[in-house]
Amino acid sequence: MTLALVGGTHRTVPLDLRERLAFSAEQAAAALMRFRDRFPGREGVLLSTCNRVEFYAAGETGSEPPPAEQLVAFLAECRGIEAVQLGPVLARERDEGVARHLFSVASGLDSMVLGEPQILAQVKQAWALAQDSRTAGPLTGGMFQAALRTAKRVATETALGRERVSIPSVAVADFASAVFERFDDKHVLLLGAGKMAAETLRYLREAGARDVTVVNRTAGRAVELAARLGGRPGRFDELVAELAAADLVVSTTGATEPVITLDAFRQVELRRHGRPLVVLDLAVPRDFDPRIGERPGVWLYSVDDLAAACDANRKSRQREMPAAWAIIEEETSRFMGDLHHRSTAPVIEQLRAGWSETGEAELDRLFRRLPDLDDAQRAEIRQAFDRYAAKLLHPPLASLRSESRAGPPHGLLDALKRLFDLKE
């Protein structure tokens, strides 16, 4: 065995246990150093996100990675959890299954939100941490580089990640951006202190929004949220003025009736002088009277509008799954072929060394019998010997590479060892 994996995700590990199993960056670094001391000569990478904890281990022949149960016990020990609790909920993979799983994770196919791009950055961070902790090596290095290559292919050759599937991302990318080309010069009003509003604002920040006001019935919560989001608190009793100044409103109050009625909005309208207004009403029940969306210059979207777009995008992503999996299978076969061919290196070196040694002996014998040869003639003869040896070695080496694509070429390796009397 060369590659091993134990790990769990949001699908297999209950949230309360997943919270206990999660590693901070500092805890992950400490765990990798413990792994390096506990299992010298083995490679290890620890991937820990809010939705998954996975440990990838690797080792050459003679230094194989620890058995799965040892890796489970190791993770349990690092987080102070009983191994009997973790054992039933952690998946195990070996060799080809490890590579296929990592490639699907990096490509976003194993995420809670299909195709989400954040996981790729987390995979890169896990690999960088392993390098810093000196638990990385040629096997994990080749596998993680292949995972990044696979993720890039899935992103560029399919439309899997081009459709947003979360309400906040759709609100910004598909709706607000359809009205405004830029957000760095827009005034954003956050009405209410809901989590979805804060998440939507995060996407707006990434899109360039800088000027943010937070208004809430409870002034203290507005002050707290404004400080956390880098905005300024506004006053609820000045809501008409705040709406008049806003370019975009994200609203998520818990009110049971509309906060902004049509009559109230007419007061706002008089002070806006025809400036366009985008309202992302994410509240249920709605904060804005739906008739406001019929007013000139107003783009009013409810959570149902956004949810419908999410569903359509999700179906679009599902259609891309076969193409994405085809890429993952192709890259898995390619990586495993390279990995199997790696195991043939000692035999290849022995073959080349044997031919080189024999060739040098014959050349020395020839040059002693032909002492009148000049340096140019000797060099020409030596090159002819090298070309001849390379051509004779090409068929067995090509066969080794071809066999490696289908799996470890143990039978061919054994035959070559016997045929050329190669020793271990």
Nearest to 146 by CA among 105, 199, 188: 105
Cα–Cα dist 265/277, whole Å = 12
Residue by residue, DSSP assigns 178-195 as: HH-S-STT-EEEEES--H
**What token pair was written down for 62?**
């003679």
How many angstroms from the chain centroid is the CA of residue 181? 29
Q: pLDDT band at residue 169, thresholds of 50, 70 and 90?
A: confident
Mean pLDDT score of the chain, rounded to an integer? 87
**At 358, phi and psi to the nearest 5?**
-65, -45
Q: Which pLDDT belongs to residue 199?
A: 84
- The pTM for the full model equals 0.65
Secondary structure element (H or E) that encloses residue 5, with its range: strand 3-9
**350-398, pLDDT tens digit by residue?**
666 666 777 778 788 888 888 888 888 888 888 887 787 777 777 766 6
Q: pLDDT band at residue 339, thresholds of 50, 70 and 90?
A: confident
CATH code of domain 167-309: 3.40.50.720
Domain ranges of the chain: 3-157, 167-309, 343-419
Residues 6+ apart with CB under 8 A from 260: 239, 243, 268, 287, 288, 289, 292
Nearest to 42 by CA among 139, 128, 147: 139
Superfamily (CATH) of domain 3-157: Glutamyl-tRNA reductase, N-terminal domain (3.30.460.30)
Burial of 136 (0-12, 13-18, 19+ CB in 10 A): buried
Q: Which pLDDT belongs to residue 111?
A: 81
Cβ atoms within 10 Å of 414's Cβ, excluding its own: 12
- Asked if residue 173 has pLDDT above 90, the reply is no
**31-83, pLDDT tens digit by residue?**
999 999 999 999 999 999 878 999 999 998 778 999 999 999 999 999 999 99
- Asked if residue 164 has pLDDT above 80, the reply is no
Cβ atoms of residues 30 and 62 within 8 Å: no
Q: Which pLDDT belongs to residue 354?
A: 62
- Asked if residue 343 has pLDDT above 70, the reply is no
Determine which one of 15, 25, 33, 50 is catalytic: 50
**At 94, phi and psi to the nearest 5?**
-135, 145
Known catalytic membership, residue 50: yes
